[in-house]
Amino acid sequence: MILFILFSTITVKAFDTPNDGGGSITIKAYNVPETVKKALVYRKTEGDTTYTLAGVMSILSYRYVDADSTIKNGKPYYYRVDFYFPDTVISVVSDSPGIAYAQWYDKSKTSSLIFLIVFSTLVLVFIQLAKKDPEGLYIRKIPALDAIDEAVGRSTELGKPTFFVHGLLGITDAGTLAALTILRRVAKKVAEYDTPILVTNFDPIVMTASQETVKQAYTEAGRPDAYNEKNIIYLTYEQFGYTAGVDGLMVREKPGAIFLQGYFFAESLILAETGHSVGAIQIAGTTAKEQLPFFVAACDYVLIGEEMLAASSYIGREPVMLGSVKGADWGKAFLMGIIGIGVVLGTVGAILQSAGNGALMNVFEKILAFF
Amino acid sequence: MGFWDRFLKIDRRWVFLVVWIAVVIPLLKPLGLPTHITPPVKKLYDYIDRMEGEDKAVFLSFDFDPSTMPELLPMGVAIIRHCFAKKIPIIVYGGLYPQFVGMAKMAIDMAKTDFPDIVYGKDYVFLGYVPGLSLVILSIGESIQGTFGNDYFGNRLDTLPLTMHVDNYEKIGIVVDLSGSSIPASWVAYAYQRYGCRIGCGTTAVSAAQYYPYLQTGQFVGMLGGLKGAAEYEELLERNGIPTGRRTATIGMDAQSVVHLLIILLIILGNIGYFYVRRRERRA
Amino acid sequence: MHISTNPWVWIAAILTLAIYSFLYKDNPFYKFAEHLFMGLSIGYGAVVLWYNSIIPRLWNPLAHGTSPSRFYLLIPIAIGLLSFGIFSKKYSWLIKYPLAFSVGAYAGFSIPVTFEASIFEQISGTILTKQMMATPWLAISNLIMFVGVITTITYFYFSKHHKGLLGKSARTGIVFLMLAFGASFGYTVMARISLLIGRMQFLLHDWLGIIK
Amino acid sequence: MLKKQIPLAITFITGVIIVITFFIPHPPFGRLQQDALTWYSVIFGFTMLLGVDSLVRFHYRKLRRREKGWWFSIIFYGGFLLSFITGVVSEVRFGDAFNINSSFMYFYNTILIPLQSTMFALLAFFIASASYRAFRARNIDATFLLVTAVIVMLGRVPVGYMLWHKLPNLTSWILNVLQLGPMRGIMIGIALGTVAMSLRLILGIERTYLS
């Protein structure tokens, strides 16, 4: 009798699965005794006389998401859950039918939406402001980018070629795009100084983009005749083959300046070490944070992570670009503000809570849960 | 040209040779350096150890390929040996990607040798690859039989005593994931956060750094990091009288110590030479 | 000594030695192993691409699917085929179409995903909770971690002069960055050496049987 | 027009649609996101194919012109065909190329894997030579880096414990605390930089890729 009372407290609810495109109903059980061994979910719809097995409910979360392909939006479905106990089976029917709907907005993504709006607004506003007042824009010194002229210059003095080594990712990678901007600057200097350049590529698409970039840079420098497509070479689409190829070129050609730009993997160290051993000035840049230590230790200048992504703004100094950098900076300020507020709220809340007032702590936990 | 100038210009092949010697000699003649046990390893060991006699199984997932094998395979072997010795039922899973299953097979073969009385199907089960990645982790929460159907050898899971009894996370005391990638985080996100199953992790030296926060927050019961973590686990087995077989990781750790010292020495010597030459050039 | 009798162990051992011969100097043995490795891994990659992408994503829906919308899949195939324009001088610009789509799609995906996966996760980890302040030692450690996050972010602040408070903070940020790089450096070195030890154990144990 | 405006428009429309549909689960938008992902992976597959194709052509050219070392290109083709053909054969025989008993996986485990790990293990030698030739305490920053690296390298091996028994703890603290903060900072920086870059790409401000 006692057992019966215990079991009869189980309730089952069926409801539309939130934040989805429809076609799914969530079934949740409440007050389930821990002794349950198994729980099977059965479904029927209007017109059906018997329930059919839908699936197995998790006996830890007591939830089952029924996304069977037969479920139609707007139609009621009735559920029964059979709970298996060591000595008995209890069937519980959901107190109301579940109806699936499609949602127009995914509430679980609100935090992303807010950030997206804040961040894009900041970037767009600062781009507009920059267009109006191009004078008031500032960007801090990035030594690695300032050193481009010096490196190419020294290489010219020594009568040695300049190398530009692309990373291993394709053109959709932000780092590769930044590398192309840097290549343009390097190629322009090379054209001005009339010194040879060699660009090595891992990816054929990046290679075609590099060819165009170098060609344009030579034209900008007023020396389109000096451009030679053969200087932009495709090596191979294989990590260690590429490394061996670049290494061999470095040892043979003994460049005076080497640019290692883009996303690198384990080969970063081999390239930087060989480059150092031939006595070149090395300027590296990558967004691969695992490889940054090796570049920092073995190269003369390094563009660290986001510094590289800001390169196009730094080199071009176009108001629109600088505006977007400024917008991103305000985004950082915004994030730091949130972290700061979070820390203050958390600390004060914790102190107040130990003094008996948990209200602020609740606010804090809500904020944490928001992310 | 002074000594340091010549030293800095030394052919790098000499360095390669020294490294070679520094690896080979400790392997041939182990130094027997003591292994110091760190808390994350001890916690994982103790957790598994306490499962002895309990009605739960260890679920060991091999989520790595040969590129990280020297670090992670000894961990797998040590954990399987631990379970075999204590008769803790263990499900060995060949991993979320098809390339990984060979690693699990190798570990079982290496661990089995000292335990003749272990019975397949009762003491351990070997699960192969099924497609689905994180969905596999989720659906183990519902039913292992439903997810896999058969074991690696093609036996139906509902005919094996172990998997007849252990069908989802409820009967799994701990999932130990061996991986040098982000896969342990998926086990935390799906098996721990959705189903409350405890997670342990064995990872490479490189990835260990990124997983420390998981230890801090208790999302991992314990963690083995790199060859050192594996060597510590071997040491714990040894101390508790469990046959360890060939202690691959421990033997390797001696060589590791020597090469680390060598590299530190090279950094120091290189920098002394660098400063010496630089100072002389400044004076000149 | 128990030299292995397994021919595959011999093959693996010889290839391993061939690669190590590169350390002495570039030579035909290394070149042989390198080219074999390149061929095998490209072939392997092709098989993986075929079975993990082309069959489930293209072939199965097109050949066995029933939904009429499956023929939309012919559009990305057509766009993708344009990539081969780069082999011709005249039509190399055709590649701009698949590129434009890829870049747009990648940028579109990366915006919300970056918010959710990188930014939010890192921020919620940085906001100090009560558990992170449980003991004085933990509190100090987490405070240092917090300072590390903030000062590093200020180092990546581009649109202001790095002087005054911002300058000091950015300077501290660099120091933190260097400490972090040093730690990651040490760890990576360790991993590479572990791999080398693994290979040596293979040569000395599995192949030659010199060590037990 | 064909070479600039239309591609820019394609980038803009694709990017905007994908961002917006991220928030709308309702059909047909929710599915659009999925479909775009499929399209992307199909098109991306072609760019990968292009890489493989370039490599195969590269070696074909070498062979045809009998360039220096042309016979290595035969080895390349041999390796390529070996894994490709065993892959196809294994699929036919086992219904799955990745079956552990298939010849494809056998080659993978016995040849490719040792080669791959040996290649990675070569790095240990380069680290050693870089240690004395390239890793210089050029300035105070580089000094911080090298000192931390040395502490971590010592702290993770038994020798470190023998030198000072607290060293392993210090190492753990460096990894847990000192490393965590800056790594988070760098990740947040790269993330914001990537988002800003993505916005510039969608808006057509950044157009290097179309040059």
Domain, as residue range, for B20: 3-28+257-283
DSSP per residue over A188-212, as a string?
HHHHHHT--EEEEESSHHHHHHHHH
Please compute, for residue C103, the number of CA atoms within 13 A of its CA located in the half-sphere on the CB side: 33
- Are residues D109 and B66, on separate chains, in Cβ contact within 8 Å? yes
The stretch C207-211 carries a mean pLDDT of 88
pLDDT digit string (tens) for A346-369? 778 777 777 777 777 777 777 767
Determine the Cα–Cα distance for residues A155 and A194; give it in Å rounded to an integer.
11
Tokens of C205: 């144990």
Nearest to D125 among B8, B19, B69 (CB): B19
A355-358 LR contacts (CB < 8 Å, sep 24+) = none
In a domain, B235, yes or no: yes
Topology of domain A140-316 in CATH is Rossmann fold (3.40.50)
Mutation target among D31, D41, D153, D197 for the A interface, most CBs of A within 10 A:
D197
For B188, list phi and psi in degrees, rounded to 5. -65, -45
**Rg of chain C over all Cα atoms, to the nearest angstrom:** 27
Residue A148 CA to residue A184 CA, distance in Å, equals: 11
Window 9-48 of A: residues touching C by CB (8 A cutoff) are none
Instruction: Enter the tokens of residue A239.
Output: 């990590």
Long-range pairs for D167-170: beta carbons < 8 A, 24 or more residues apart: D168/B36, D168/B38
pLDDT of A33 higher than 70? yes
| CA distances from residue A121 to A317, A331, D11 in whole angstroms, order as listed | 21, 10, 20
Query: At residue D126, does pLDDT exceed 80?
Result: yes
pLDDT score of A2:
45
Residue with the bigger pLDDT between B135 and A311: it is: A311
| pLDDT digits 0-9 by tens, A198-225 | 999 998 889 888 998 999 999 999 999 9
Q: What is the SS3 assignment for A78?
A: strand
Nearest-CA distance from D98 to chain B in Å?
Answer: 6
CB contact C65 to D (< 8 Å): no
- Return the residue of D nearest to C93 by Cα: D3
Q: List the chains bordering chain C where 3 or more Cβ pairs fall under 8 Å.
A: A, B, D
B8 Cβ contact list (under 8 Å, min separation 6): B270, B273, B274, B277, D132, D133
More confident residue, C177 or D51: C177
Query: Which residues, in sequence order, are bridge partners of residue A29?
Result: A12
Helix %, strand %, coil % of chain D (to 5): 80, 0, 20
Residue C99 at interface with chain D, using a CB cutoff of 8 Å: yes
C24 → closest Cβ in B13, B246, B256: B13
Q: Where in the sequence of chain A do the CATH 2.60.40.10 domains occur?
A: 2-99
A293 within 8 A of C182, measured Cβ to Cβ: yes
Cα nearest neighbour of D200 on chain C: C107
CA C138 to chain centre: 33
Do B65 and B204 share a structural domain?
A: yes
pLDDT of residue A185: 94
> Is the Cβ pair C179, D209 closer than 8 Å?
no
Nearest-Cα distance to chain B for D206, in Å, is 32
Q: Strand order of the sheet with strand A162-166?
A: A232-234, A197-201, A162-166, A257-261, A281-286, A301-304
Distances in Å between the Cα of D54 and the Cα atoms of A199, A306, B146, D49 are 17, 32, 44, 8
Q: Which of B200, B130, B198, B136 is nearest to B169 (CA)?
A: B198
Strands A63-66 and B57-62: unpaired
Please report the pLDDT score of residue A60 as a whole number: 65
User: Are B21 and B144 in the same domain?
Assistant: no
Q: What is the 3-state secondary structure (H, E, C) of B11-50?
A: CHHHHHHHHHHHHHHHHHCCCCCCCCCCHHHHHHHHHHHH
CB A197 within 8 A of CB A231: yes
Average pLDDT over residues C41-53: 80
pLDDT at B262: 95
A 255-314 residues with CB below 8 A of B?
A: 277, 290
Q: What is the largest CA-CA distance in chain D?
A: 71
CB within 8 Å: C212 and B246: yes
For residue range A112-148, list pLDDT tens digits in order. Answer: 899 899 999 999 999 999 888 888 788 899 999 999 9
Give how far A184 is from chain D: nearest CA, Å.
Answer: 9
Q: Which of residues 101-130 of D touch A (CB under 8 A)?
A: 119-120, 122-123, 126-127, 129-130
Q: Tell me how close the Cα of A330 comes to any Cα of chain D, in angstroms.
A: 10
Q: Is-cis flag, bond preceding D28, omega within 30? A: yes
**Domain shared by B191 and B81, yes or no:** yes
- In three-state form (DSSP H/G/I as H, E/B as E, the rest C), the secondary structure along A148-161 is HHHHHHHHHHCCCC
The answer to whether A368 contacts C127, with C-beta atoms less than 8 Å apart, is yes
Of the candidates B249, B245, B259, B263, the one whose C-alpha atom is nearest the C-alpha of residue B41 is: B249
Please indicate whether, in this complex, the C-beta atoms of C198 and B252 are within 8 angstroms of each other.
Answer: yes
- State phi, psi for D157 to the nearest 5 degrees: -125, 160
In a domain, B252, yes or no: no
The pair of three-digit structure tokens given for residue A279, joined into one six-digit string: 């006595």
Q: Are residues B88 and B21 in the same domain?
A: no
Closest-CA distance of chain C to residue D83, Å: 5
Q: Which of residues 132-171 of C touch D (CB under 8 A)?
A: 141-142, 144-153, 155-156
Of A160, A249, A170, which Cα lies nearest the Cα of A197?
A160
User: Cβ–Cβ contacts within 10 Å for residue C138, how many?
Assistant: 15
Note whether residue B266 is domain-resident. Answer: yes
Sign for the pseudo-dihedral over CA of A337, A363, D184, B189: negative
CB atoms within 10 A of CB D64: 10
The answer, for A60 touching chain B at a CB cutoff of 8 Å, is yes
C44 touches chain A (CB under 8 A): no
Closest-CA distance of chain D to residue B65, Å: 8
How many C-alpha atoms does B233 have within 13 Å on its Cβ side?
A: 36
> Nearest chain D Cα to C9, which residue?
D110
Q: Is C41 on the interface with D (CB under 8 A)?
A: yes
The neighbour count for residue C136, using CB atoms within 10 Å, is: 8
Backbone angles phi, psi at C66, to 5 degrees: -120, -25
Q: Quick check: helix, strand or coil at residue D26?
A: coil
- Bin C154: left if φ > 0, else alpha if -120 < ψ < 50, else beta: alpha
pLDDT higher than 60, residue D115: yes
Q: Percent of chain C scored above 70 by pLDDT?
A: 98
Q: Does C127 touch chain D (CB under 8 A)?
A: no
CATH code (residue B186): 3.40.50
The answer to whether residue B154 sits within a structural domain is yes
8 Å CB contact between B186 and C117: no
pLDDT greater than 80 at residue C121: no
**Percent residues over pLDDT 90 in chain C:** 29
Angle at which helices A110-132 and D180-202 cross, to 10°? 70
Rounded to 5 degrees, what are φ and ψ at A201? -125, 145
Residue D130: φ, ψ to 5°: -65, -30
Which parts of chain B sit beneath pLDDT 70?
1
D187 touching chain B per CB within 8 A: no
Please, which residues bridge with residue A84 across strands?
A38, A89
Taking only the tens place, the pLDDT of each residue in A226-267 is 999 889 988 877 788 888 889 889 988 999 999 999 999 889
Averaged pLDDT of chain D: 86
Q: CA–CA separation, B65 vs B52, rounded Å?
A: 30
Quote the CA–CA distance of C74 and A100 in Å, as a whole number: 32
Is position B33 within any domain?
no
pLDDT tens-place string over residues D76-110: 899 999 988 998 888 888 777 776 677 887 888 78
Q: What is the pLDDT of residues C53-79, one digit of tens each?
A: 777 778 888 888 777 777 888 888 898
Say which residues have a Cβ less than 8 Å from residue A317's Cβ, sequence separation at least 6.
A139
β-sheet bridge partners, residue C62: none
pLDDT at B231: 94
In a domain, B54, yes or no: yes
Q: Where in chain A is the domain with CATH 3.40.50.720?
A: 140-316
Total domain count for chain B? 2
pLDDT of residue B1: 64
Annotation: CATH topology of A2-99: Immunoglobulin-like (2.60.40)
